[in-house]
Amino acid sequence: MVHYKIIARELSISERQVESTVELLDGGATVPFISRYRKEVTGELDEVQIAAIRDRIEQLRELDKRKDSVLKSITEQGKLTPELEKQVKDAKTMAELEDIYLPYKPKRRTRATIAKEKGLEPLANLIFEQSKLDIYKEAESYISEEKQVASIEEALVGARDIIAEKINEDKDARTKIRKLFMDTALISSKVLSGKETEAIKYKDYFDWKEAINKIPSHRLLALRRGEKEGFLMLDIQPEAEVAIEILEKQFVLNRTESAEQVKLATQDAYKRLMSPSIETDIRMKTKDTADEDAIKVFTENLKQLLLASPLGQKNVLSIDPGFRSGCKVVVLDKQGKLLHNDVVYPEMGSGKKVLAEQTILALCAKHNIEAIAIGNGTAGRETEDFIRKLGLPAEIMIVMVNESGASVYSASDVAREEFPDYDLTVRGAVSIGRRLMDPLAELVKIDPKAIGVGQYQHDVEQNKLKTSLDDVVISCVNAVGVEVNTASKQLLTYVSGLGPQLAENIIKHRNENGPFKKREELKKVARMGDKAFEQCAGFLRIRDAINPLDSSSVHPESYQIVEKMAKDQNCSIEELIKNDAVRKAIDLKKYVSETVGLPTLQDIVKELAKPGRDPREKFETFSFTDGVNKIEDLRVGMKLPGIVTNVTNFGAFVDIGVHQDGLVHVSQLSDTFISDPKTIVKVQQKVMVTVTEVDAARKRIALTMKNQDKSQTSSKPQMQTPKKKEPEIQGSLQDQLAALKNKFR
């Protein structure tokens, strides 16, 4: 099939790989399932390649549908010729196809159609031949009161309108001018008169010019946003003289009077018709490219955030900080279940501060708290300072948690369904604590656009963005695996082959029948057919299952292979998992078949070594610099630890603990030149930065990572031991607080 050839060439893979992948996709297989469990079929294509095949075959099929529609329309007009049919079928892009169709496309009344209604088309055709003739005498014969042609000049103007439309609809001409736009056009912007004050954030673009083929995506999206908001006026144009010269070379063939008329029509065709039309095309094309780039940045950042290190199953005290409204405190057990909620006011006077100390210490003692999660929003650093001064044992980790999106979750239908009896403040605190325990499981409940790790995510094409973000979430969820007996409906929804309805049915079955004891029981879930089970089974885990393979990523379709391996080694499956020497003795070639090859067998043995292993990095603690809690505390030259919160094409934003992220411009990320920040940093990475500029009024912080020790810019966080300070206890609660503290000694 021709589509397979096109995709194979574009992706530098074989046609057979494309064909096999498309067949699997058409059969309902998901990208994660194909990449993980059908390696022999696809030739070990990864998720990125499989998704690219999926998206490209969809584009080509849409092009086919449009071709069919175009051919039908031209046929109905009685204008389809074998040559035209071939042109339509051979069109490689939607733009090329639309150029071919343009002369036959039903259109509103134009100046050309009005001229044709006046009977001027024969005159236009005669002039377009550019032979030696007296055009004024010819035009005179078209003067008609009935046709509403009052003069020679009016007849010539009408004829030129017809010629201009013909030039505009010429496929070759449009191809040449479109190429000129892409190669040489400048995009320029000017501030709209009277908007200078309102548009101050776009000050850099008040009088701006840049080559359209070199402008970075973030700048193009910024310009378009300024235009959309009514502050900027954009224009994309090449040199008009060059464009007109190209058209004149094609259409002005002689030096006759009629050729002069064609020349005038050519100029009109470019300025009135072709230039605006192709500018619109270029706007769409460059916007699509910028969208793809921005979406790529967003998806890569989101992936890093979703795969951030989980703390794991711990008893957690979670705090959503606040000043006058107080700090919302919740206690979560090892499974993230809400056990208790409260409000403390450490910033509201000494009496309430002491009561807050008493409350926190009592909760830590009563619930055997192992970690304290503190949201990094308003009052976050002040609350962290308060907690650290309580003198808690070193075993209790104190962690600042990025709370972006927690407020969105707390007001969502998901949160209301999960906690119908609690208000937004309690739900937000729960989200912060759970995000520490398992970022992936909690973040899937939030619209990715609310997490704040992209650039111009609200300006890009939303359907494309949603598809790409869904792909990332699905990829991450299935890469980690999901514990079916504890997972939320939202998490289960992203498992290969499930979706909202089956996820809900799994929860319902679990509630009515108790936890699943083996994967086979999933087949009893309502609407769980063979295909859905095939797609999801390998990604669902059952901890402490009867069959140890049920807690691994080994697919049930391969259980017989593992059983045969164990039998051949004269041991049980449990021994096969525990004994490294036994596994190394397995000769994988013995188990190769028509459907199972070495790649799958190697995956199986690798999984047996660490069944159900979490691919995410181990959690390590991190602390900001003591005493640097707000932007006013910053000084130029300060060296500070920070966490990368967002990576864009122009640099990286870093949280240094002052409630305002600083920007490390791409030019400040490394001592050597780099063009792509993603080659140096990633979201959630711990880095050391130096403050180079502080603008407190505009809340802007400039940072640099130049001349930093490479060990400090690794993905491993820099360990800092918080200074232990004896808390100042006063008031009538002093004895109670002392008694509580003794519990920890």
Q: Residue 459: its pLDDT value, please?
A: 85
**Which among 156, 148, 102 is positioned nearest to 127, based on CA atoms?**
156
The one-letter amino acid code at 95 reads A
CA angle 177, 183, 185 (to 5 degrees): 75
Contact between 63 and 97 (Cβ < 8 Å): yes
Mean pLDDT, rounded, for 291-317: 93
Band the pLDDT of 715: cuts 50, 70, 90. Answer: very low
State the Cα–Cα distance between residues 209 and 219, nearest whole angstrom: 11
Distance spanning both ends of the chain, measured CA to CA? 75
Q: Which long-range contacts (CB under 8 A, 24 or more apart) does 698-702 make?
A: 699/631, 699/660, 700/663, 701/631, 701/634, 701/656, 701/658, 701/660, 701/661, 701/662, 701/663, 702/662, 702/663, 702/665, 702/668
User: How many Cβ atoms sit within 10 Å of the Cβ of residue 414?
Assistant: 17
Contact between 369 and 315 (Cβ < 8 Å): yes
Q: Residue 738: its pLDDT value, please?
A: 53
Structure tokens at 92: 């490689």
Q: Residue 739: its pLDDT value, please?
A: 54
State the Cα–Cα distance between residues 702 and 629, nearest whole angstrom: 17
**Which among 269, 268, 251 is positioned nearest to 130, based on CA atoms?**
251
State the Cα–Cα distance between residues 285 and 399, nearest whole angstrom: 45
3-state secondary structure of 287: helix
Structure tokens at 153: 């000049």
For 600-655, the DSSP string reads HHHHHHHHHHSTT---SPPP----PPTT--SGGG--TT-EEEEEEEEEETTEEEEE
**Which among 66, 108, 114 is positioned nearest to 91, based on CA atoms?**
66
Question: Phi then psi for 634, rounded to 5 degrees?
Answer: -80, 145
Contact between 364 and 308 (Cβ < 8 Å): no
477 Cβ contact list (under 8 Å, min separation 6)? 440, 444, 491, 494, 495, 539
pLDDT in tens, 521-578: 999 999 999 999 999 999 999 998 989 999 999 999 999 999 999 999 999 999 999 9
Domain ranges of the chain: 2-104, 112-183+241-289, 186-237, 310-445+725-745, 631-713
Q: Left, alpha or beta for 368 (phi > 0: left; psi -120 to 50: alpha)? A: left
Buried b / exposed e across 463-480, counting CB within 10 Å, b at 16+?
Answer: eebeebbebbbbbbbbbb
For the domain covering 112-183+241-289, report its CATH number.
Answer: 1.10.3500.10
CA angle 707, 214, 274 (to 5 degrees): 165
Q: Per-residue pLDDT for 652 more than 60?
A: yes
2-104 is classed in which CATH architecture? Orthogonal Bundle (1.10)
State the Cα–Cα distance between residues 249 and 283, nearest whole angstrom: 26
CA dist 678 → 70, 140, 158, 361, 651 (Å) = 43, 69, 57, 42, 9
CATH topology of domain 631-713: OB fold (Dihydrolipoamide Acetyltransferase, E2P) (2.40.50)
State the Cα–Cα distance between residues 147 and 153, nearest whole angstrom: 15
3-state secondary structure of 99: helix
Mean pLDDT, rounded, for 207-215: 95
DSSP-derived secondary structure letter, 675? S
Contact between 396 and 371 (Cβ < 8 Å): yes
Angle at which helix 47-76 crosses helix 94-101, to 10 degrees, equals 10
pLDDT in tens, 117-166: 999 999 999 999 999 889 999 999 999 988 899 999 999 999 999 999 99
pLDDT in tens, 351-367: 899 999 999 999 999 99
Q: Residue 731: its pLDDT value, please?
A: 37
Contact between 308 and 439 (Cβ < 8 Å): yes
3-state secondary structure of 172: helix
Mean pLDDT across the chain, nearest whole number? 91
pLDDT in tens, 27-38: 999 999 999 999
pLDDT in tens, 674-692: 988 999 999 999 999 999 9
Q: Kindly report the pTM of this predicted structure.
A: 0.84
Would you say the C-alpha torsion 14, 19, 22, 27 has a positive or negative sign? negative
CA angle 282, 287, 293 (to 5 degrees): 130
**Which among 364, 359, 327, 331 is positioned nearest to 343, based on CA atoms?**
327
Pairing of strands 327-332, 338-344: antiparallel
State the Cα–Cα distance between residues 259 and 321, nearest whole angstrom: 78
CATH topology of domain 310-445+725-745: Nucleotidyltransferase; domain 5 (3.30.420)
CA angle 729, 734, 737 (to 5 degrees): 90
Mean pLDDT, rounded, for 579-585: 92
